Chain A
Amino acid sequence: MTPASPGEHGTPPRVYIDHAATAPLRPEARDAFLDASAFPGNPTSRHGSGRRARGVLDDALDSLAASLDVPVSWLTLTSGGTEADNLAVRGAALAAQAADPSRRAVAVCATDHPAVLETARSLAPGIESREIPVDGDGLLDLEALREALAPGDVSVVSVALVNNETGVVQDLAAVAEIAHAAGALVHTDAVQATSHVELPVRTVDMLSLTGHKIGAPVGVGLLVVRPDIPFVAGLTGGGQQRGVRPGTLDAPQTASLAAALARTLADREAESARLGEMAQRLRAGIREIAPDAVLTAEAAPRSPHVVHVLLPGCDQDALLLMLDQQGIDASAGSACSAGVTRASHVLTAMGIEPDLARGALRLSLGWSSRVDDVDRVLAALPEAIERARAVGALVR
């Protein structure tokens, strides 16, 4: 059932160990999409095909609501995590300020995804973005959060549940307690957490999910939010989804998301245990190959699917090239759209020196990962690290 991804240009099957970037499509998600897309119909049309599409959509929404244990009215479909984050941070902050002009700031975690950080920054000058620092293990400085909220002018606090680079898990219960005491709403980007961490759906006020990290296609996501929270919509259109997020409802994508989420949540405990063991094996193997390797955020709670290490002296472009040449799809943790690797803002915020950050390697596991993948990565790493060190030595 696990698809062996075909090798590029006729090479052996590749090891896909970059689930944090995107996960392979789950068979049940693909089946759900194909079944639902076999017939036409706009879910808001009144004819037979429209009603059939609406039926598929309603079943999918019911399934999503059941998986998350929330009413259907809490679900706003989006194009993915970035849009859900935009809606939560911008939409809720603008609405809060409209209702109470003294709410003129948002607070975000310094290591959050650009979908949150850049959205918060884009609110200036009307709304100030306060970036809350993290400690050396990547954990949010709760004291700093308390101070940032002390003036009582913050409308939205946004903290990712699981960091997309390091896998560090934040304590959203503690964040929510502090934020709520200051009258602020709490948003969490949970796109990286869905497969492995219990979702604090009722602890926070807003929660972002995306399909493609859990085996649904790219292009569908979800903001889970109580309907009593006011929003300024990012889009204007035909009034779908209470006008908060207009646009034609996508029955096949939603069905696919529902199938992937149901499977992901049903498998969560078993998968976390399975992948956690594989991750341990990876870490132990890396330690053996490179005794000076630094396991990032070793003291912090981490999601079991991410192995993030810093390999002193290594050049990460070289490291990834060498692994790629061995058929291994890995990541440095972050890459800009132009394909040029820059110092990660996450590692910088954690106080990691640029020289060490240059040797960052992120291996992330998921539903299609097999023990054999780990063995192939460990077999390829010694030469990759040796050569990446040789390149690293050339660069000042």
Chain B
Amino acid sequence: MKVLAAMSGGVDSAVAAARAHEAGHDVVGVHMALSKNRAENRTGSRGCCTVEDAADARRAAERIGIPFYVWDLSDDFHDLVVSDFLAEYAAGRTPNPCVRCNEHIKFATLMERARALGFDAVCTGHYADVRAEGPDGAPSLHRARNLPKDQSYVLAVMGPEAVSRAVFPLGAFEDKEAVRAEARERRLGVSTKPDSYDICFIADGDTRGFLERSLGEAPGEVVDADGTVLGTHRGTFGFTVGQRKGLGLDRPAADGAPRYVLDVKPETRQVVVGAAELLSTTLLEASAPIPFEPLAPGREVSAQIRAHGEALPGIIERADDMLSVRLSSPVRGVAPGQTLVLYDGDRVIASATLERRAA
């Protein structure tokens, strides 16, 4: 196959490209430059966007023996990821920019270009596995063997069609140390780079400050579930459902129990807080479902609502233009805007976007 390998400059994508090359594919490496001003991006952040990352990717490609190019996708990144990140926060939701980047940049944009250039597939250093266990042997997306690093959750937004044109060589690795060891063995020169989970386009790591600078202050009230005003805030975008710290309330709740953000209402500039039990729900409701196979109410599934969260057992209640799942036990901190992914065992069967919790 002709394979286009996305090379971030990190160890994972370098080893993935090397493996694809070794498997006999005709591999071309591409580094996606995502920031308008790359010098400003965080050095050592996620390993996507700094000038050093591009240089590391180039060196790795040279070592592997594949052609290498840098593509400037900064306009796409700004329009599809950064702008969306701000808009989602402004709407009282909690976006995951890395999920969004995977969906729109690392896959949609890259795959479109790859296809236009005559490539058969895209290869990345994500930890997930593609097999042929979908309906009628269709390509299916599975959790990686290295479960703590598994990224099938963030990849599920790609949808089945894109999965059929993706290659994830790292899905078979036991652990990250094995990847680092292979990078050392192949002399890829990136094996000592640290992992990081920061947002690459927020240079100082201060997300709330970035939102304030970008969206401007929008002061409002912090209220309890009955509407009693407990305090004020500088902008609803500083709050996420389930958040406990940084509420800025000077007096404790009457019963002394900790308070959590229950809801964020940008339309009235209100942040609703309350006790933990008010945060719990057994019903997950999500919009814009992307099914990997036909879904029907009554099916037992496991649901994941955070990138590093556990899989929660439940039953599908609704599967049409909305997807809803009744969990067997309550869960806290369902943040609208986050991604819901449903699994059957280790196989992804759907993804969708979580909506505001039903009252």
Contacts and interface: CB of A to CB of B under 8 A. Distances in A.
A339 B54 contact: yes
Nearest to B109: A394
B56 to A, nearest CB: 13
Contact of B72 (A8, A342, A387, A390): A342
Contact of B33 (A8, A340, A394, A396): A340
B2 to A, nearest CB: 9
B67 A391 contact: no
B54 A391 contact: no
B298 interface: no
Given A318-B116, A325-B28, A390-B116, A338 B67 contact: no
B69 interface: yes
Interface in B57-95: 58, 65-67, 69-72, 75-76
3 nearest interchain CB pairs?
Answer: A390-B116, A339-B70, A340-B72
Interface residues of A, number: 21
Given A338-B54, A394-B112, A387 B67 contact: no
B28 A394 contact: no
Given A338-B38, A338-B51, A322 B67 contact: no
A361 to B, nearest CB: 16
A9 B61 CA distance: 12
Interface string B268-285: 000000000000000000
Given A394-B116, A395-B76, 19 more contacts: A8-B67, A317-B69, A317-B71, A320-B69, A324-B69, A325-B67, A338-B33, A338-B38, A339-B58, A339-B69, A340-B33, A340-B70, A341-B72, A390-B116, A390-B117, A393-B116, A394-B112, A395-B75, A396-B75
A187 B113 CA distance: 45
A341 B73 CA distance: 11
B113 A391 contact: yes
Q: Chain A: interface secondary structure?
A: helix
A321 interface: yes
Interface in B311-331: none
Nearest to A320: B69
Contacts of B65: 9
A324 B58 contact: no
Interface in A290-342: 317-318, 320-322, 324-325, 338-342
A393 B112 CA distance: 10
- How big is the B interface, by class? 20 to 34
Q: Which of A320, A338, A391 has the largest count of B CB atoms less than 10 A from its CB?
A: A338
Contacts of A340: 33, 70, 72
Interface string B37-62: 01000000000000100100010000
Interface string A362-396: 00000000000000000000000001001101111
Contacts of A393: 116
Interface string A172-186: 000000000000000
A338 B117 contact: no
A318 B72 contact: no
Contacts, number: 50
Nearest to A394: B112
14 contacts: A8-B67, A317-B69, A317-B71, A322-B117, A324-B69, A338-B51, A338-B54, A339-B69, A340-B72, A341-B72, A391-B113, A391-B117, A393-B116, A394-B109
A320 B30 CA distance: 13
Nearest to B108: A394
A387 B38 contact: no
Contacts of A338: 33, 38, 51, 54, 70
B118 interface: yes
B117 A321 contact: yes
A320 B72 CA distance: 14
Contacts of B54: 338-339
A338 B75 CA distance: 17
B69 to A, nearest CB: 6
B274 to A, nearest CB: 45
B28 A321 contact: yes
Nearest to A337: B51
Nearest to B30: A321
Contacts of B58: 339
A318 B72 CA distance: 11
A324 B117 CA distance: 12
A318 B33 contact: no
Contacts of A324: 67, 69
A8 B117 CA distance: 20
Contacts of B38: 338
Q: By CB atoms of chain A within 10 A, which of B33, B51, B65, B113 has the most?
A: B113
Nearest to B66: A9
Contacts of B70: 338-340
A58 B76 CA distance: 57
Nearest to A8: B67
Nearest to B115: A390
Contacts of A339: 54, 58, 69-70
A314 B132 CA distance: 37
Contact of A387 (B71, B109, B117): B117
A318 B112 contact: no
A338 to B, nearest CB: 6
A206 B323 CA distance: 74
Instruction: Output the residue of B38, B75, B112, B116 with the most chain A CB within 10 A.
Output: B116
Contacts of B72: 317, 340-342
Contacts of B113: 318, 391, 394
A340 B65 CA distance: 21
Contacts of B116: 318, 387, 390-391, 393-394
Interface string A331-357: 000000011111000000000000000
